[in-house]
Structures are given as structure tokens and as C-alpha cells.
Structure 1
Amino acid sequence: MWKITLALSLLAAPLFACRLPFEPTLEAAMVKATARDQPILLLFTGSDWSLRSVTLDKELLENQTIEKILETSFILMMVDFPQRVKLASEQQRANTALAEKFQVSHFPTLISLRSDGSEIGRLEFHAATVESMAKILHDWLSRAGKTEKRN
């Protein structure tokens, strides 16, 4: 019973409260990634219905360690598929096209790309600790030939 209560409370909470800066389009993310010489991180999410998406946001994206790695070392783009909030039809089409292009059917899925659009790595998120997520992000940075940037 407590799991149902927890799930309902998580789904009722404000979604994607993390303060990370997300680019509006893949094209904008690629331009910025090229200019800053940083990889892109695409976050495919179901922000208002996927319990795993809510967990990722609350337990990892809002964590200072993960937030710092993402904010300083990646160009971010969220590709959201909400069910309770209606997206503009143009945004819905763009998000669907990206999900098809990257063959995403699991939410949330994180995909790291080089600035040319080639894939570095992907994670179909089920659960992770801060330490394991940091290790994955550092691995993707390493594969991209980068290290975490320090402010």
C-alpha cells in the first residue's frame, strides 16, 4: 500500500523541478555543442506519467553532484511525452520524430551524442545511485574525449 501512496505522491508533485538548462531543439543543441566542444545529452521522458522519469528527476537530476556534471559538461535537451499536459502539435511532432530517429520506446532514456549527432552511449533508466549515474556520465565524457569541466 505504501508503494501506491508513494507513486501517487510523486506523480502529484511538480514535475521536472531540476534547474538544468534544456535546449529547445536538437539543432540548437548541436550548434551549442559544436561551439562549446561538449557532448549532448538527450533526455526522453514521460514527465507526468512515468514513475521512473519522476524518480530520475527527483533522485538524480536534482542532486548537486549530477546537476554539476550535466550543467558544466553537457548540452542538454529534454524530449518530453507528457500525458496530462498537452504539447503544441508542432512540439509533439518534433518529439515523436526524435523518438523514432533514436528508436526510443522506454521512458526515461538518456542518450549522449557528439556534436555531429553520432551516439556515444544510451541508458534506458530503471534505477541508479548518484555514484552509478556519475560513473555513466563520466564514461560518456571519456568516450567523447572530454573530461568534466570545472567552474
Structure 2
Amino acid sequence: MKKILFIFLMTVLTSANSVAQEKLTWHTDMNKAFEIASKENKILLLFFTGSDWCGWCIRLQNEVLKTSDFEKWAKDNVVLVELDFPRKTQQEATIKSQNSQMQKMFQVRGYPTVYFAKPEKTAEGKKNLNTLGSTGYVRGGAEKWLEVANNIVKNN
């Protein structure tokens, strides 16, 4: 009986560990995310957020971006990039500058804003982002938000 209990316990711990290892990676370095998306032939999901002050951003995180439905969808479809504009949390100067550049490039005027973009390299080796569409907070949780996201992603 002790052997069975031990084996059961080890199985549970091993599967819990593998689930924990499968958590999503939110990149903060656009260059790295661009390279990964290009290599894996995936779309970039660019999440413009005010993580420590924006109520709608926090709602989007809790109702969609931290759900298992979103995790499953994201692993198959996108490379995640968080472009954060916190008020209380300190950021590295390079990240702050990069996020500001991206905000200007995509003309983001409010938070949360989520852009979907396909990474492309030109013949000269320059990097381009082909914008597919954008969304923000969508009422109805992960299911409704993913409907909107799928409509944008499928049209690429």
C-alpha cells in the first residue's frame, strides 16, 4: 500500500511540475521576440499595458491573459510581448525607450491595447512588422476575447 501511495504521489508531483514549466513566456525584448516569432512562423501579440495603474489592463490580465484557455491558444498561435508603461515600478532605460518607440510606431493612445503583427525581414535584412489588427478589453472573458483575436489572426 505504501508503494502505491508513493507512486501516486510521485506521479502527481511530476505532472504538477510539468504544468508549472509550461507557463507562458511574456517577452520584454522586441528583438528577441521578433526572432522567435520569425523562426517559429508565429504572429507577435503586442500587449501595451500600464500594469501597476490601469484598471482595464488588470481586468484583461485576470479575465483573459491568465486563463488556461488563453494559455492553450497563445502557445499555438503567438509570441507574447509585454510593452509596459508602469508608474510605480522602475524599468531599465532600454526597455523604457523601446516601449516608447513601439507606442509611437503603433500610435497607441490608451490602455490596454493589443496589436497583432506578423514579423517580416526584407531582402536587405531590415525588420518590419505587418500589422494585422488590434483589440483591447472585450467583455465576456477569455471566450469572447479569443473570438476577436481569432478573427484577426485568421485573416493574416
- TM class by smaller structure: 0.7 to 0.9
TM-score normalized by structure 2? 0.75
Q: Which runs of 5+ in 1 are unaligned?
A: 1-18, 145-151
**Aligned-partner Cα distance in 1 for 2:66–2:142:** 10
Contact 2:29 2:95 in 1 (8 A): no
> If the length of structure 1 is used for normalisation, what is the TM-score?
0.77
More strand by share: 2
For residue 129 of structure 1, the aligned residue among 109, 126, 141 is 141
For residue 75 of structure 2, the aligned residue among 67, 71, 74 is 71
SS for the counterpart of 1:90 is: helix
| Higher helix proportion | 2
Length, aligned pairs only: 126
Deviation at 1:124, TM superposition (A): 3.1
| Superposition deviation, residue 141 in structure 1 | 2.3
Pick the structure with greater CA Rg.
2
Report the 3-state secondary structure (helix = DSSP H, G, I; strand = E; otherwise coil) of the residue aligned with 2:80.
strand
- Which residue is 2:57 aligned to? 53
Aligned with 1:29 (options 22, 33, 37)? 33
CA contact (8 A) 1:112 1:119 kept: yes
- After superposition, the C-alpha distances for 1:1-30 in whole angstroms (9 at most, x for unaligned) are xxxxxxxxxxxxxxxxxx420223222222
- Structure 1 stretch 27-36 or stretch 112-121: which is displaced more? 27-36
Q: Which has the higher contact order (CA 8 A, sep 6+)?
A: 1
Give the Cα separation in 1 of the matches to 2:145 and 2:24: 16
Q: Residue 138 in 1 paired to residue 142 in 2?
A: no
Gaps of 5+ in 2: 1-22, 121-128
CA contact (8 A) 2:117 2:133 kept: yes
Counterpart contact for 2:26–2:80, Cα < 8 Å: yes
Residue-by-residue CA offset, 1:80-121 (whole Å, 9 max, x unaligned): 001111112222111111101110111110000012210011
**Matched residue type, 2:154:** S
1:25-67: CA deviations, max 9, x gaps?
2222221111111111000000000000110111111111112
